[in-house]
Amino acid sequence: MAYGREDQLLFTAPILLFGAAPIAGSLLSCLDRCQTWPVVAADGGLGTALSCGLRPQAVIGDMDSANDLDQLADDIRQIKRSGQDDTDFEKSLDLIAAPLIIGIGFLDGRFDHSLAALDALARLPHDRPVLLVGGDDVLLRLRGDFEITLPLASRFSVWPLGTQHFLRSHGLEWPLDDVTMAFGKRTGTSNRVNGAPVSIGAGVGDGYVVMAPLTAFDAMLDAVVAMADLPA
């Protein structure tokens, strides 16, 4: 881990970012592939990470939810960011520079917190992927084209983060060819896989997320690793 501008955390490898939402037992098995990756906690996510047996390198937030901060080891960096105009997740995304962020503890629990996480993804100024993992779903924030191989009939939803035009798609029951999606107007809930691979050609837009069942975590991670040219 290195520092760029004040308080920014720079990583050359993918990282795990923990939030404070409950962690389902079904999710823990997904972490086996990620156990050597650096860990960062967003405020109350500190307790979540520690309960999973993982030691964060840093904790970020307004520190209104993290417990026993005075008892943390000195090598766990505490970055306090006050203000109610952004969430601890958004504060963390602003401070972390990594080729891939896997967020755990942001999709389950309170629904307004999950909505706030989506809002934070919509505001990201960069194109780096962010993968959120919950007890039932895995959600990937994207800009540009995407390709993944999933079992036939798998649920595969596509949601715009603002307005997003799609040029083409392959492998989906309901194609995205020359389709423009916009939040509040047109989305792609519960599309289905009918071919392999699933591919999406994205045009101009604000970005989008793709969602699949948690069982698709390995396939989603493999797709991101290939897309971002990361070590497998």
pLDDT exceeds cutoff 60 at 157: yes
Please give the Cα distance from 10 to 66 (Å, whole number): 23
Query: What is the chain's mean pLDDT, rounded?
Result: 86
pLDDT in tens, 7-45: 688 898 899 999 888 777 777 777 778 878 999 998 888
Domains and CATH numbers, the chain: 2-135 (3.40.50.10240), 146-204 (no CATH)
* Token pair in block for residue 19: 């939030």
DSSP code at position 114: H
16 vs 49, 93, 112, CA distance in Å? Answer: 9, 12, 22
pLDDT-derived band at 3, boundaries 50, 70, 90: very low
Q: Is the pLDDT of residue 225 over 50?
A: yes
Is the confidence at residue 104, as pLDDT, over 80? yes
Distance CA 224, CA 62 (A): 31
Give the whole-angstrom CA distance, residue 42 versus residue 87. 9
Residues pairing with 92 in the sheet: none
